Amino acid sequence: MNTPHHSARAATAENQYVQVNGNEIAYRTFGVGSPIVLANRMRGTLDTWDPLFLDSLADRHTVITFDYPGVGYSSGTLPDDLGEVARFVSDFTTAIGLDSFAMLGWSWGGFTTQTLLLDQPERVTHAILVGTNPPGPGQLPIQQVFIDRAMKPVNDLDDEEVLFFEPRSAFSRAAAKASHDRIYARPDVVSKIPSRLEQFMVYLKAAEVFREDALGRRAGLTRTRTPMLVISGDNDTSTAGQNWFPLIGQLQNAQFVFYPESGHGPQHQYPELSAEYIADFIARTSR
């Protein structure tokens, strides 16, 4: 891995590129400390993480963000199988010189993180699962209000309030605008965000297979000793945090944080607090 830019911050970190399985994969790295690799949500790119959240993480960790193959600044094609996506993450991290690392997955990236920690447990030292669900059927489903906004080619601030925050809360709406303004301070964010239905369907197919769980990964979660921190909003209309409740008491090394008046992007509503929780969790837990 190229040396992280200790003086760089999220808003100024430059794209770096590495060849992975014949594709040119874009990533950014900055900060100081042990590495934490961030796996993004459906339609997320290098540009759509909240810079304040990343900078707060970077105070205590080397932050590595990346674009999946065929997404954002990366070439290639996004796989519709999370086992393949997890193998890509393993190959990518190997290509930049990482043997093991903490991994944070938001939403769809949380499915990727869980898959990698179960398929290659030696790679992931800690799993931070943000606005995401465990594998397995019988869960509170995604709500239509989320689907209606998530399928739009371009999302504006009003959409983001519904998708990632709690629009009934003035506090949450204010946090949404602050986060939006930080993200869109970087020029030309929109053009790199996947916007076509056929792109969306790849994410959705992979998510459906994860939920069906024919490979028994839900049971695998109950056997792992990898430390897990689950961060959820109390009104997540996509991946309801309440879907973790049946696993409380079965997971051997998991902790849970639920934020009030918040939705599918809790780390963007509470960026500094989330970073503090995550850094303390990594520092104070082990297998």
Tens digits of residue pLDDT in 71-122: 999 999 999 999 999 999 999 999 999 999 999 999 999 999 999 999 999 9
Strand partners, 130: 106, 231
> Residue 130 has which token pair?
């943000």
Per-residue pLDDT at 4: 53
Instruction: Provide, for the chain, the percentages of residues in helix, strand and coil under a 3-state DSSP scheme, each rounded to the nearest 5.
Output: 40, 15, 40
Write down the pLDDT at residue 128. Answer: 99
pLDDT of residue 137: 86
Cα dihedral 268, 274, 278, 279 sign: positive
- Residue 207: pLDDT band with limits 50, 70, 90: very high
70 touches 78 (CB < 8 A) = yes
Helix (H) or strand (E) holding 46: none
- In the predicted model, is pLDDT for residue 7 greater than 80? no
Class of residue 123 by CB neighbours under 10 A (exposed 0-12, middle 13-18, buried 19+): buried
Mean pLDDT of the chain: 96
Name the percent of the chain lying above pLDDT 70: 98
Q: Which residue has the tokens 């944080």?
A: 257
Mean pLDDT across 120-140 = 96
- Token duo for residue 149: 């906004």
State pTM to two decimals. 0.97
pLDDT, position 67? 99
User: What is the rounded CA–CA span in Å between residue 263 and residue 232?
Assistant: 8
Phi and psi angles of residue 144, each rounded to the nearest 5 degrees, phi first: -60, -35
What pLDDT score does 6 carry? 55
pLDDT, residue 138, reads: 85
For 114, the 3-state DSSP assignment is helix
Say what the pLDDT of residue 3 is.
53
Q: From the DSSP assignment, how many helices (H) and strands (E) are in the chain? A: 10, 8
Q: Cα 170 vs. chain centroid, distance in angstroms?
A: 25
Q: What is the mean pLDDT of residues 208-227?
A: 97
Residues 28-63 pLDDT 10s: 999 999 999 999 999 999 999 999 999 999 999 999
